[in-house]
Amino acid sequence: MSNVSHFLEHNAQKSAQYFTHKLACETDCSDVYADIKSGDNNFVLLDVRSNEAFNKSHAITAINIPHIEITQTRMAQFHKDTLFVVYCWGPGCNGASKAAQKLSALGYLVKEMIGGIHYWEDFERYPVNRCIDEAQK
Protein backbone atom coordinates (compact mmCIF):
# COMPACT_ATOMS: atom_id res chain seq x y z
CA MET A 1 0.00 0.00 0.00
CA SER A 2 1.39 3.39 -0.92
CA ASN A 3 1.97 6.05 1.69
CA VAL A 4 -0.84 8.14 0.20
CA SER A 5 -3.30 5.23 0.34
CA HIS A 6 -2.31 4.45 3.91
CA PHE A 7 -2.65 8.13 4.86
CA LEU A 8 -6.11 8.38 3.29
CA GLU A 9 -7.34 5.15 4.89
CA HIS A 10 -6.02 6.21 8.31
CA ASN A 11 -7.66 9.64 8.04
CA ALA A 12 -10.94 8.12 6.88
CA GLN A 13 -10.92 5.87 9.94
CA LYS A 14 -10.13 8.79 12.25
CA SER A 15 -12.92 10.83 10.65
CA ALA A 16 -15.39 7.97 11.07
CA GLN A 17 -14.43 7.63 14.74
CA TYR A 18 -14.71 11.37 15.31
CA PHE A 19 -18.14 11.71 13.72
CA THR A 20 -19.44 8.57 15.44
CA HIS A 21 -18.39 10.04 18.78
CA LYS A 22 -19.78 13.47 17.89
CA LEU A 23 -23.18 12.04 16.96
CA ALA A 24 -23.24 10.03 20.19
CA CYS A 25 -22.96 13.33 22.09
CA GLU A 26 -25.31 15.58 20.16
CA THR A 27 -28.61 15.74 18.39
CA ASP A 28 -30.56 18.46 16.61
CA CYS A 29 -33.94 20.13 16.88
CA SER A 30 -35.37 18.13 13.99
CA ASP A 31 -34.54 14.76 15.53
CA VAL A 32 -35.80 15.79 18.97
CA TYR A 33 -39.08 17.11 17.58
CA ALA A 34 -39.56 13.98 15.44
CA ASP A 35 -39.10 11.82 18.56
CA ILE A 36 -41.59 13.94 20.53
CA LYS A 37 -44.16 13.75 17.71
CA SER A 38 -43.76 9.98 17.36
CA GLY A 39 -44.04 9.42 21.11
CA ASP A 40 -40.49 8.08 21.23
CA ASN A 41 -39.48 10.40 24.00
CA ASN A 42 -37.34 8.18 26.18
CA PHE A 43 -35.38 11.25 27.26
CA VAL A 44 -35.78 14.32 29.40
CA LEU A 45 -35.61 17.51 27.34
CA LEU A 46 -33.78 19.87 29.66
CA ASP A 47 -33.72 23.64 29.15
CA VAL A 48 -30.67 24.83 31.08
CA ARG A 49 -31.28 28.58 30.72
CA SER A 50 -32.45 30.79 33.58
CA ASN A 51 -35.93 30.35 35.04
CA GLU A 52 -36.91 33.72 33.58
CA ALA A 53 -35.85 32.75 30.06
CA PHE A 54 -37.59 29.38 30.37
CA ASN A 55 -40.82 31.03 31.54
CA LYS A 56 -40.85 33.36 28.54
CA SER A 57 -40.57 30.55 25.99
CA HIS A 58 -39.39 26.95 25.93
CA ALA A 59 -39.62 23.86 23.74
CA ILE A 60 -42.66 21.69 24.33
CA THR A 61 -42.10 18.89 26.87
CA ALA A 62 -39.00 20.63 28.25
CA ILE A 63 -38.32 21.01 31.95
CA ASN A 64 -36.05 23.67 33.40
CA ILE A 65 -32.97 23.22 35.52
CA PRO A 66 -30.51 26.06 34.96
CA HIS A 67 -27.00 24.71 34.38
CA ILE A 68 -25.72 26.45 37.51
CA GLU A 69 -28.19 24.38 39.57
CA ILE A 70 -27.07 21.00 38.24
CA THR A 71 -25.61 19.23 41.26
CA GLN A 72 -25.72 15.69 42.57
CA THR A 73 -28.35 16.69 45.13
CA ARG A 74 -30.54 18.46 42.56
CA MET A 75 -30.36 15.58 40.09
CA ALA A 76 -30.94 12.80 42.65
CA GLN A 77 -34.62 12.62 41.62
CA PHE A 78 -33.58 11.12 38.26
CA HIS A 79 -32.49 7.52 37.68
CA LYS A 80 -28.90 7.11 36.54
CA ASP A 81 -30.10 5.60 33.24
CA THR A 82 -32.00 8.79 32.36
CA LEU A 83 -31.01 10.27 29.01
CA PHE A 84 -30.97 14.06 29.10
CA VAL A 85 -31.13 16.18 25.96
CA VAL A 86 -29.92 19.61 26.99
CA TYR A 87 -30.25 22.97 25.27
CA CYS A 88 -29.66 26.65 25.94
CA TRP A 89 -29.99 29.77 23.78
CA GLY A 90 -28.16 28.63 20.67
CA PRO A 91 -24.79 28.44 18.95
CA GLY A 92 -23.48 31.52 20.76
CA CYS A 93 -24.11 30.06 24.21
CA ASN A 94 -22.19 27.31 25.98
CA GLY A 95 -24.68 26.70 28.78
CA ALA A 96 -25.77 23.40 27.23
CA SER A 97 -22.15 22.26 27.01
CA LYS A 98 -21.61 23.17 30.67
CA ALA A 99 -24.76 21.27 31.62
CA ALA A 100 -23.76 18.26 29.51
CA GLN A 101 -20.35 18.17 31.16
CA LYS A 102 -21.87 18.34 34.66
CA LEU A 103 -24.49 15.68 33.92
CA SER A 104 -22.00 13.28 32.36
CA ALA A 105 -19.62 13.80 35.30
CA LEU A 106 -22.52 12.80 37.59
CA GLY A 107 -22.92 9.59 35.58
CA TYR A 108 -25.96 10.49 33.45
CA LEU A 109 -26.39 9.92 29.73
CA VAL A 110 -26.57 13.22 27.91
CA LYS A 111 -26.79 14.71 24.44
CA GLU A 112 -26.61 18.37 23.50
CA MET A 113 -29.34 19.69 21.20
CA ILE A 114 -27.37 21.84 18.79
CA GLY A 115 -29.04 25.08 17.79
CA GLY A 116 -30.80 25.52 21.12
CA ILE A 117 -34.07 27.35 21.52
CA HIS A 118 -32.99 29.79 18.80
CA TYR A 119 -33.07 27.14 16.09
CA TRP A 120 -36.05 25.35 17.65
CA GLU A 121 -38.26 28.41 17.75
CA ASP A 122 -36.93 30.88 15.19
CA PHE A 123 -35.69 28.67 12.36
CA GLU A 124 -37.66 25.45 12.62
CA ARG A 125 -40.80 27.07 14.07
CA TYR A 126 -41.45 24.08 16.32
CA PRO A 127 -44.04 24.52 19.07
CA VAL A 128 -43.13 26.27 22.29
CA ASN A 129 -44.82 26.99 25.56
CA ARG A 130 -44.87 30.73 26.04
CA CYS A 131 -45.76 32.99 28.94
CA ILE A 132 -48.76 35.05 27.85
CA ASP A 133 -49.61 36.74 31.14
CA GLU A 134 -47.00 39.45 30.86
CA ALA A 135 -45.26 41.36 28.13
CA GLN A 136 -41.93 40.06 26.88
CA LYS A 137 -39.03 42.08 28.29
The pLDDT of residue 132 is 62
Percent of the chain with pLDDT strictly greater than 70: 93
CA atoms within 13 Å, Cβ hemisphere of 109 = 11
The pLDDT of residue 10 is 81
* Structure confidence by residue, pLDDT tens digits, 45-96: 999 999 999 999 999 999 999 999 999 999 999 999 999 999 999 999 999 9
Distances 125 to 54, 58, 101, 120 between C-alpha atoms, Å: 17, 12, 28, 6
Distance CA 2, CA 36 (A): 49
